[in-house]
Structure 1
Amino acid sequence: MKLVVGVQKRFIQNIYWTISLLCFFFLLNSCAIDTDKKVLYFAHSLPTTHPVHKGIVAMKEGLEKKSNGKLEVKIFPDGQLGTEREVLELLQIGSVAMTKVSAASMSNFAPAYQVTSIPYLFRDRDHLFNVLEGDVGKELLESSSAYLLRGLCFYDAGARSFYAKKKPVKTPQDLDGMKIRTMNDQMSVDMVNTLGGSATPMAYGELYTALQQNVVDGAENNIPSFVTSNHYEVCKYYTFDEHTMVPDVVVIGTKFWDTLNEQEQAWLQEAADESVEKQKQYWKETVAENMVVLKKANVEFLYPDKTQFSIKVTPVMEKMMQDEKMKKVIEKILAE
């Protein structure tokens, strides 16, 4: 009986959320009617204190200045309009214009993005952005247009590392038997499982409670996300193994993009490109500030021999290279 009631309750909640969202979009559209102005609704899942949100604000300001107010951006942070996947689907149907998502989330829509999640593919930050701002990056951004999602630029999302609640992770062996939350991305799951952990895909918004209640033993993410999510309150061990450097992607739905004329498209692309350097600086500043916060909170930092981790996850890259197209891209990145 309890199960039936629970199912009915979730069903009613889903209906309520759907109706509320439809009403919300109706209100947005009714407020956006202006023959001299186009409004771009930009939804994402991060808090306003995050350096990526600050980069989005820089893009908004740049676009509105370039267009003399003809193009206006309204930002909806904190997952107000749904998860990354849900917002990408809203872009595809034209209900929302833009978003920022992890390249890992994009790979669920445009497979070419999987290459950005391969562990230890990028040697360092300079290597990463040499690739992203070169031919490979342009090809990736263009590849998603076939799925109604046009990539505009990449934002710095740092390096992802493990953090744990009960014990430090010094070697891959320390992950044995540990339940590690991952993104809902096959590459992330394969990486954790190959290292010996037990990958547990889970929505980011559910993770804090899951850590508190020992549903998972740890997770992996960058320093700003570790801090803004308050996961450091629960997990006191952060290991700088830096297994992946998965960038964020600024995306516009092709349905909205096609409503812009050539000049408006040029303004938007220019504003996105110019915001990249500002966002990188915001990222550096935020990491420095966050490290101070974590030290005061008595978080223990560990700096392991990354070679142990990179060797153990070699099968993940080898599996990807079985695809001839992916192999060519990987070889091009390694040669950069």
Structure 2
Amino acid sequence: MKLGKRITALLLVAAVGLGAVGCSKVNGEETQVKVVRVAHGQNEEHPQHKAMLEFEKYVEEKTNGAVDVQIFPNELLGATAQAVELSQTGAVDLVIAGLGTLEAFNDCYTVLNLPYIMDSTEHYHEVMNDEEIIKPVYESTKDSGFVGLTWFDAGVRNIYTTKKVIMEPDDLKGLKIRVQTSPTNVKMLEALGASPTPMSFGEVYTGLQQNVIDGAENNELALINNKHGEVAKHYSYNMHAMLPDILIASTSLLEDKLTEEEAQIVREAANYANEYEMELWDEAAQEAKEKAEAMGVKFYYPDIKPFQEKMVSLHAEYTQEEDMKAVYDKIRKKGDEILAKNASIESKEE
């Protein structure tokens, strides 16, 4: 990313008192326009950015231009953790944040972040679309100054490396692997014998290139959209996590800055953006894999059972607290229901 662009963006945020409301002509008349700032860490080709462009269009059309949505991709407003902190003060209104960042604010997000908590993508999607499970999680950070609005599919996270192929947990011993700033992710890699190295997503390419780290963990899009495949040529489907990214909103945006009608439009736009992003995700992941193969990245398919077995104690550790166990039990119950349903269908087909 360009330093000049980041400085300009940060100066804009610093001037929040001047920029929160602007003037524009709506239907030929000059009127005040409310500026809504959105921060995320992906580039302009990522499905999440494209979904937020649809969000922008929806909000501006439904409010007849009374709300001006401004999107800052590529961590232009700082690393995700910084952007979330800015949302607490209202300097940034909306942020797309990973679970690794959000779990610092409430333990409910930690449960979603547990490796191998989801059995399949079907399980993952049904959990995230179940309001009984997810709404309390979204609302759990209200006292911290923000709430969740919706989720974006971020695929299945796997480990990719610059030199060593990962086929079993022992292959990770001693390797420095980038993780999100998350105690759960750190403990996961420690359990696998790796040396977890938290760093900003925007620093990963340079870290791989300069051998500061030996690898990272993410979905296939990072290989292409963020060019990690130029330096990391080994991608192993150990499938340790199926993690959503969460679109969070500052409570000051929803309760103070916008009218009730405008806040409802923002919520509707978030749901629309979720549906739009879901349609794009699978196609984008497959396309990224094909492009990565063309640039020399090789894909490997290890047996995931040995990796799962390493996480038993981690699951036990994070289900001691009552609230966390309640979320965990709901997720596992959903998984058992899906397994039973699918088994019944297979039995009838036989």
Q: Distance in 2 between matches of 1:83 and 1:27?
A: 19
**2:324 counterpart (303, 317, 326):** 326
Matched, 1:104 2:93: no
Judge conservation of contact 1:104–1:246 (CA < 8 Å) in 2. no
Matched, 1:62 2:51: no
Q: Look up the match of 2:129.
A: 133
Deviations 1:296-328 (A, max 9, x none): 012111111111111112111111011122112
Q: Distance in 1 between matches of 2:47 and 2:65?
A: 25
Judge conservation of contact 1:182–1:219 (CA < 8 Å) in 2. yes
Paired residue secondary structure (1:33): strand
Report how far residue 290 of structure 1 moved: 0.6
Matched, 1:85 2:62: no
Q: Look up the match of 1:280.
A: 278
Query: In the TM superposition, what are the counterparts of 1:1-336 in structure 2 within 5 Å?
Result: 21-22=10-11, 25-26=14-15, 29-30=18-19, 32-34=21-23, 35-134=31-130, 135-259=132-256, 260-336=258-334
Report how far residue 161 of structure 1 moved: 0.3
Corresponding pairs, count: 321
Q: Distance in 2 between matches of 1:173 and 1:45?
A: 32
Paired residue secondary structure (2:15): helix
* TM-score, normalised via structure 2 length: 0.87
Judge conservation of contact 1:110–1:147 (CA < 8 Å) in 2. no
Matched AA of 1:208: Y
Q: Distance in 2 between matches of 1:152 and 1:24?
A: 22
Paired residue secondary structure (2:317): helix
Paired residue secondary structure (1:251): strand
Matched AA of 1:70: A
* TM-score, normalised via structure 1 length: 0.91
Q: Distance in 2 between matches of 1:151 and 1:202?
A: 24
Moved more, 232-241 or 202-211: 202-211
- Structure 1 residues 30, 325: closer, same or farther in 2, change over 3 A? closer
Paired residue secondary structure (2:74): coil
Paired residue secondary structure (1:166): coil
Structure 1: runs of 5 or more not aligned? 1-12
Deviations 1:224-279 (A, max 9, x none): 12321211111110001110112111111111211222211111111111111110
Over the aligned positions, Cα root-mean-square deviation in angstroms equals 2.0
Deviations 1:88-127 (A, max 9, x none): 1111111111111112211112332111110110112221
Report how far residue 187 of structure 1 moved: 0.3
Matched AA of 2:178: R
Judge conservation of contact 1:189–1:199 (CA < 8 Å) in 2. yes
Moved more, 23-32 or 95-104: 23-32
Question: Counting strand residues as a fraction of each chain, which structure ranks higher?
Answer: 2
Question: % of aligned pairs identical?
Answer: 34
Paired residue secondary structure (2:65): coil
Judge conservation of contact 2:13–2:91 (CA < 8 Å) in 1. no
Q: Distance in 1 between matches of 2:213 and 2:309?
A: 25
Structure 2: runs of 5 or more not aligned? 24-30, 335-350
Report how far residue 65 of structure 1 moved: 2.1
Q: Distance in 2 between matches of 1:132 and 1:23?
A: 34
